[in-house]
C-alpha cells in the first residue's frame, strides 16, 4: 500500500459502475431459468463474428479487425437455461417486470428519479459474448444519491442490462462461450466520478452493494457482482477497468492504476528529454529469421521449423524503457506484448531489454541489432509467427510505443485476481448505443411507482440504528448481523425467546461464522430449529453454554429433533437438588483448602464444579449455590 501519495494533489477521479445479478424467476427477455449449468452442453453452434453497424454507419475498428482475422465463436447451450432468444433466432420477449420492480426499488432507496418511459437500447459489443453483437440495456432511474460516511455520492443512473455469455475457452481463432449466463438480469449502478481516494472507492462499492442486498432480491456468491472502475489522474488519461469481482480488491486496483499512470507519465517525460519523437518510430519490419537459424531458444526454433518467420522492429531511444516496471509484474514491455497478442493473435513478443535469456545468446542479440542497424540506445522487439500475424503484432507494438511518448493511452483494461490489470481493447467511441426496435417502450405510471415507494426496504444505515436502539446491541454486533443477513431471524428469536439479544446476535454472527470455518454444515440446521434452541434456553431446558454443541450435533444429524440432540449429548439440565449434591461433594473433596483459605477457595470450587456441569446448568445458579454452601 502506498500511503504516501497525495491523491488530492494528483487529481484522482474515480467513477464506479456496479453490476449485480438479480434473483428473478426468469431471464430479462425470455422465460428461461437464470442459472448456469455445469454439465456438457446439449447444443453447440458456430457463428462468425461480424462487425455490427451502428445507426451512424460506423463500424467498430476492433470488431472489424477480428472479423478480418476470421474469428469464430462456438456457443454452448442446454435447453434448461436458454432458448431461441439467446440464440438470436427469435425476437426478445417483453421486458421482465419483476426485474424492473427490483431495479426501481433499489433506485428509490438511492433517492433517484424514475424515468417516465423505459426505452431498451442496444449497446455494441465486439467480443462475441452476445450472440446478437449487442447488449440490451435500459435506464430505469437517474440522479440519485447515497451517503457514504459524511460524503454524498451522486448516482448518475440505475439501469437494467442483460448479462453476457461467459467465455469457457479459446482454441486458435475459435472462442468458446456458454450462453446460460446470457440474458440474466443485471442492475447497473453508476456513480459520478467524484471518488478521490482508493479507500473511498472501496467504501462506495460496499455501500452500493449493501443497498442492493437490502432489496433481498439479488444473487449471491462470486461472479454475481462485478464492478467496473473509471480512473484518471491529472496529466494521465481515462482508463476503464472491467470486471473486479472482489470488493476488497477495489482500493488496490485504484492504487495500482494511479501508480501505472504516474510511471507512464514519467517514462514519456524521460523519452521526450532523450529527444525521442514519434517520427523516429517507423513502420519498418525486418525479417531476421536467419539470425536465429541455429538458436537454442525453443519457442523460436519451433516456429522456424514450422516455416514461420521471425520479424523485428526497431524502437529508437527505447533501450531500458521496456523493462521499466509500471505496477508489480507489469512492465512497459508487458503492455506491448498484450497489444501484440490482441492485434496479432501471437503468443508473445521478445525484446532486447530482457535478453540474453530464454536460450537466446548475446551473440544472437548482437547479430539481431546489426541486422536492423540498431544504435546502442535503441530497443528491438521481435515476434515469431506467420508473417501476417507477426506484422500486425509489431504494428501494435509500434503504436503502443508512440503512445508511450505521449503518456497514458485511453484504453479498456481487465482486472486480474491480484489487483493488477491487462489490456482488453481500445476504449469504444461514443456512438455505440442505438434503440432496440423489437421491444416497445414501457410507461412507468405514478401509481405504480408510489406502490413500490410505499414498500421500500429499510436502508442499511436505518436498520443499524434501529437494531442498536431496539435491542441495545453495540454497533459492531448490529453491523455483523446486517452483514450476515440474518437480521430477520434475529428479530424473530429475540421477540419469541426472551434470551438477551446480545447472546442471540453473537451466536448468529460470530459463533456460526467460526463453525462454518470449522467445516460444520450450518445450512443443515433450519431457522425454526434455531428458534427452538433459544426457546429451550429461555425455559431453562438448555444451558446457553451448550448451544454450540447442540447446533453441531443437529448439523451432523439432519432431520433429528432438538429433544434428540439434548438426549444424545447427555445435556439434560441438572435439577437444583442434583446441583447441590455436586457442590457438596466438591467442597468435601477440597475440604482442607476450604478451611485453610476460606474466601479465596471460592474460585477453586467454582471452576471445579463448572468443569463437571458445563452445559447442564446455569452458571449463575451454580455460583449462587456455591456461595450459599460455603457460607455455612
Ligand atoms: Zn431463453
Q: pLDDT per residue over 112-147, tens digit each?
A: 999 999 999 998 877 789 999 889 999 999 999 999
Please, where are the H alpha helices in 126-192?
none
Give the Å distance between the CA of 531 and the centre of ligand 1. 41
CA 180–ligand 1 middle distance (angstroms): 9
193 vs 559, higher pLDDT: 193
545 alpha-carbon distance from chain centroid: 38
**Cell (9 digits) for 159:** 439501469
Q: Where does residue 199 fall: left (phi above 0), alpha (psi -120 to 50 degrees), or beta otherwise?
A: alpha
What is the Å distance from ligand 1's center to 425 Cα?
29
Please identify every residue whose CB atom is under 5 Å from ligand 1, which is an ion: 30, 32, 83, 85-86
- d(CA 80, ligand 1 centre) in Å: 9
For residue 3, the model assigns a pLDDT of 55
The model's confidence at residue 50, banded by pLDDT at 50, 70 and 90, is low
Hunting for cell 437500447 — which residue is that?
Answer: 121
| Contact predicate 82/180, CB 8 Å | yes
- pLDDT tens-place string over residues 72-101: 899 999 999 999 999 999 999 999 999 999
Of 117, 154, 156, the residue nearest 138 (C-alpha): 117
Mean pLDDT calculated for residue range 24-35: 97
Residue 131 burial by Cβ neighbours in a 10 Å radius (0-12, 13-18, 19+): buried
Q: Nine-digit cell at 143?
A: 440522479
Rounded to 5 degrees, what are φ and ψ at 248? -65, -20
* DSSP state letter for 545: G
Mean pLDDT of 410-419: 94
Cα 339 to chain centroid, rounded: 25
Mean pLDDT over residues 582-601, rounded?
84
Share of the chain above pLDDT 70, in %: 95
**Model pLDDT, residue 41:** 95
CB 286 within 8 A of CB 373: no
Higher pLDDT, 508 or 55: 508
pLDDT of residue 545: 86
- 592 confidence band (pLDDT: 50, 70, 90): confident
**Ligand 1 center to residue 36 CA distance, Å?**
13
pTM for the full predicted model = 0.80
Instruction: Say whether pLDDT at 214 is over 80.
Output: yes
- Measured N-to-C along each axis, helices 460-471 and 198-214 cross at an angle, to the nearest 10 degrees, of 70
Mean pLDDT of the chain: 92
Torsion angle of C-alpha atoms 331, 334, 336, 341, degrees rounded to 10: -170
Q: Are 234 and 10 within 8 A, CB to CB? A: yes
Q: What's the confidence (pLDDT) of residue 137? A: 96
Least confident of 304-313, 374-383, 422-431, 589-598: 422-431
Task: Report the Cα 33 to chain-centroid distance in Å.
Answer: 23
C-alpha of residue 24 to centroid of ligand 1, in Å: 14
Neighbouring residues of 496: CB distance < 8 A, sequence distance ≥ 6 = 531, 534, 535
Cell 505521449, located at residue: 406
pLDDT above 80 (res 369): yes
C-alpha of residue 165 to centroid of ligand 1, in Å: 12
Model confidence at 378: pLDDT above 90: yes
Dihedral in degrees, nearest 10, Cα atoms 592, 624, 584, 593: -10
CA angle 165/134/28 to nearest 5° reads: 60
Cell of 78: 442446454
Mean pLDDT (whole number) for 285-297: 96
Say which residue, 62 or 456, is predicted with more confidence: 456
Contacts of 385 (CB under 8 A, 6+ apart): 303, 308, 309, 344, 346, 347, 393
pLDDT recorded at residue 55:
45
- The band of 56, judged by pLDDT with boundaries at 50, 70 and 90, is very low
Q: Is the pLDDT score of 1 beyond 70? A: no
Q: How far is the CA of 90 from the centre of ligand 1 (A)?
A: 9
Q: What is the pLDDT of residue 58?
A: 60
**Cα of 185 from ligand 1 centre, angstroms:** 12
Distance in Å, CA 30 to ligand 1 centroid: 5
Longest dimension (CA), the chain: 105
Residues 336-359 have a mean pLDDT of: 94
Ligand 1 centre and the CA of 75: distance in Å? Answer: 14
Check pLDDT > 70 for residue 553.
yes
- Lowest-confidence segment of 37-41, 68-72, 492-496, 502-506 by average pLDDT: 68-72
The pLDDT of residue 60: 63
Amino acid at each position: 500500500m502506498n500511503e504516501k501519495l497525495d491523491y488530492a494533489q494528483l487529481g484522482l477521479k474515480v467513477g464506479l459502475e456496479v453490476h449485480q445479478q438479480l434473483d428473478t424467476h426468469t431471464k430479462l427477455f425470455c422465460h428461461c431459468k437464470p442459472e448456469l449449468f455445469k454439465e456438457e452442453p446439449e447444443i453447440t453452434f458456430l457463428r462468425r463474428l461480424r462487425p455490427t453497424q451502428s445507426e451512424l454507419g460506423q463500424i467498430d475498428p476492433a470488431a472489424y479487425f477480428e472479423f478480418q482475422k476470421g474469428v469464430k465463436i462456438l456457443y454452448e447451450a442446454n435447453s434448461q437455461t436458454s432458448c431461441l432468444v439467446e440464440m438470436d433466432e427469435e425476437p426478445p420477449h417483453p421486458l421482465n417486470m419483476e426485474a424492473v420492480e427490483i431495479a426501481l426499488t433499489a433506485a428509490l432507496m438511492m433517492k433517484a428519479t424514475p424515468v417516465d418511459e423505459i426505452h431498451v437500447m442496444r449497446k455494441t459489443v465486439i467480443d462475441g459474448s452476445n450472440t446478437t453483437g449487442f447488449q440490451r440495456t435500459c435506464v430505469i432511474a437517474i440522479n440519485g444519491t447515497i451517503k457514504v460516511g459524511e460524503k454524498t455520492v451522486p448516482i448518475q443512473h440505475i439501469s437494467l442490462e442483460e448479462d453476457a455469455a461467459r467465455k469457457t475457452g479459446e482454441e486458435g481463432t475459435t472462442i468458446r462461450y456458454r450462453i446460460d449466463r446470457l440474458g440474466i438480469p443485471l442492475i447497473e449502478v453508476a456513480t459520478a466520478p467524484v471518488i478521490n481516494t482508493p479507500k473511498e472507492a472501496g467504501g462506495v462499492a460496499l455501500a452500493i452493494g449493501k443497498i442492493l442486498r437490502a432489496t433481498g432480491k439479488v444473487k449471491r456468491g462470486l461472479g454475481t457482482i462485478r464492478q467496473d472502475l473509471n480512473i484518471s489522474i491529472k496529466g494521465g488519461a481515462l482508463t476503464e477497468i472491467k470486471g473486479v469481482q472482489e470488493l476488497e480488491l477495489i482500493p488496490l486496483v485504484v492504487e495500482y492504476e494511479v501508480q501505472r499512470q504516474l510511471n507512464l507519465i514519467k517514462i514519456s517525460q524521460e523519452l521526450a528529454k532523450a529527444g525521442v519523437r514519434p517520427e523516429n518510430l517507423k513502420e519498418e519490419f525486418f525479417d531476421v529469421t536467419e539470425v536465429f537459424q541455429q538458436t537454442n531458444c525453443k519457442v523460436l526454433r519451433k516456429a522456424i521449423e514450422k516455416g514461420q518467420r521471425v520479424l523485428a522492429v526497431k524502437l529508437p531511444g527505447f533501450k531500458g524503457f521496456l523493462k521499466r516496471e509500471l505496477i508489480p509484474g507489469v512492465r512497459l514491455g508487458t503492455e506491448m506484448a498484450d497489444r501484440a497478442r490482441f492485434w496479432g493473435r501471437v503468443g508473445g513478443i521478445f525484446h532486447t531489454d530482457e535478453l540474453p535469456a530464454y536460450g537466446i545468446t548475446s551473440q544472437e542479440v548482437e547479430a539481431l541489432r546489426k541486422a536492423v542497424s540498431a544504435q546502442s540506445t535503441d530497443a528491438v522487439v521481435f515476434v515469431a509467427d506467420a508473417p501476417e500475424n507477426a506484422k500486425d503484432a509489431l504494428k501494435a507494438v509500434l503504436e503502443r510505443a508512440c503512445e508511450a511518448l505521449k503518456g497514458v493511452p485511453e484504453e479498456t483494461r481487465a482486472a486480474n485476481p491480484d489487483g493488477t490489470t491487462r489490456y482488453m481493447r481500445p476504449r469504444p467511441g461514443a456512438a455505440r448505443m442505438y434503440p432496440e426496435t423489437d421491444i416497445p417502450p414501457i410507461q412507468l405510471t405514478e401509481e405504480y411507482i408510489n406502490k413500490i415507494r410505499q414498500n421500500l426496504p429499510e436502508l442499511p444505515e436505518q436498520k443499524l440504528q434501529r437494531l442498536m436502539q431496539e435491542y441495545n446491541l453495540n454497533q459492531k454486533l448490529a453491523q455483523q448481523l446486517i452483514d450476515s443477513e440474518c437480521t430477520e431471524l434475529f428479530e424473530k428469536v429475540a421477540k419469541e425467546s426472551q434470551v438477551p439479544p446480545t447472546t442471540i446476535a453473537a451466536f448468529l454472527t460470530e459463533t456460526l461464522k467460526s463453525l462454518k470455518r470449522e467445516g460444520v454444515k450450518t445450512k443443515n440446521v433450519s431457522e425454526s430449529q434455531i428458534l427452538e434452541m433459544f426457546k429451550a434456553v429461555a425455559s431453562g431446558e438448555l444451558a446457553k453454554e451448550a448451544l454450540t454443541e447442540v447446533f453441531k450435533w443437529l448439523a451432523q444429524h439432519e432431520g433429528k429433533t432438538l429433544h434428540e440432540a439434548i438426549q444424545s449429548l447427555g445435556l439434560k439440565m441438572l435439577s437444583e437438588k442434583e446441583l447441590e449434591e455436586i457442590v457438596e461433594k466438591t467442597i468435601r473433596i477440597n475440604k482442607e483448602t476450604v478451611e485453610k483459605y476460606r474466601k479465596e477457595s471460592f474460585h477453586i470450587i467454582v471452576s471445579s464444579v463448572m468443569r463437571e456441569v458445563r452445559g447442564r446448568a446455569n452458571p449463575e445458579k451454580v455460583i449462587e449455590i456455591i456461595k450459599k454452601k460455603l457460607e455455612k
